Amino acid sequence: METKKRVILSVAAHGDDAEFMAGGTLAKLVDEGHDLYLLIATDNDRGSYHLSAAELKIIARPEAEAAGKVLGAKRVFLLGYRDGDLCDMPNTTLRGQVMYYIRKLRAEVIFCWDPFAPFENHPDHRAIALATSDASSFSVLPLFHPEQLAEGMQPQRVIEWYWYSKAHWETNKRVDISATIERKIRALYAYNCQMVLTIDDLLDEARHGCR
């Protein structure tokens, strides 16, 4: 990325997506002087073998804000959708919500799941990726969501996109995060419920011979 100060918007389906996939890079960009904002679509309310949905909703925001603080984000926004249900939302609705934050924050750089990644098995990842790709492509056009301009916002051009994916063999950019790897790990630790889920998942897969 150029040395000119940029506004970066990281859009994720769940708390911990961005930290897992790009946490070190985001922290590094903050260290270089860029402004980082985090937008999370769901409240992780189904991501546990032990906690109830109500309990997960309560801790979603404080965990996300704690992780954002570690990375150096200026603010964290949550849309509050149910975990796993983003695929039931019209793309135009999600597109409009993401575009709202692109225009509100004057974001020039976007991080999100790759909308064209093969073998992505999570419907939330696919839904937010496509909506974010569309929003960041059309946010400069005033006839898309004109109600936002009526609120005083302006069209905004996104100039850089960084799509992350589980399909690592298709990677076309690598970033040295040796200076920020510890911050990435600490940001992930802030999501205690998600880290417990990750361990529980691995243990359950092992018990069923999946690995």
Worst-scoring range by mean pLDDT, 6-10, 86-90, 200-204? 200-204
The residue ranges of DSSP E strands in 50-207, in sequence order, are: 75-81, 109-113, 160-164
Asked if 70 and 183 touch (Cβ cutoff 8 Å), the reply is yes
Distance of CA 119 to the CA centre of its chain: 19
Domain parsing of the chain, residue ranges? 7-207
For residue 201, what pLDDT is reported?
57
CATH 3.40.1350.10 fits 7-207, yes or no: no
Give the residue, 169 or 49, on which the prediction is more confident: 169
pLDDT band at 72 (very low <50, low <70, confident <90, very high): very high
For residue 44, what pLDDT is reported?
80
User: pLDDT tens digit string along 86-109?
Assistant: 999 999 999 999 999 999 999 999
For residue 50, what pLDDT is reported?
75
The residue ranges of DSSP E strands in the chain, in sequence order, are: 7-12, 35-42, 75-81, 109-113, 160-164
Q: Whose CA is closest to 60, among 199, 190, 210? A: 190
Q: What are phi and psi of 85, to 5 degrees?
A: -105, 5
User: pLDDT tens digit string along 127-179?
Assistant: 999 999 999 999 999 999 999 999 999 999 999 999 999 988 888 899 999 99
Give the residue, 1 or 40, on which the prediction is more confident: 40
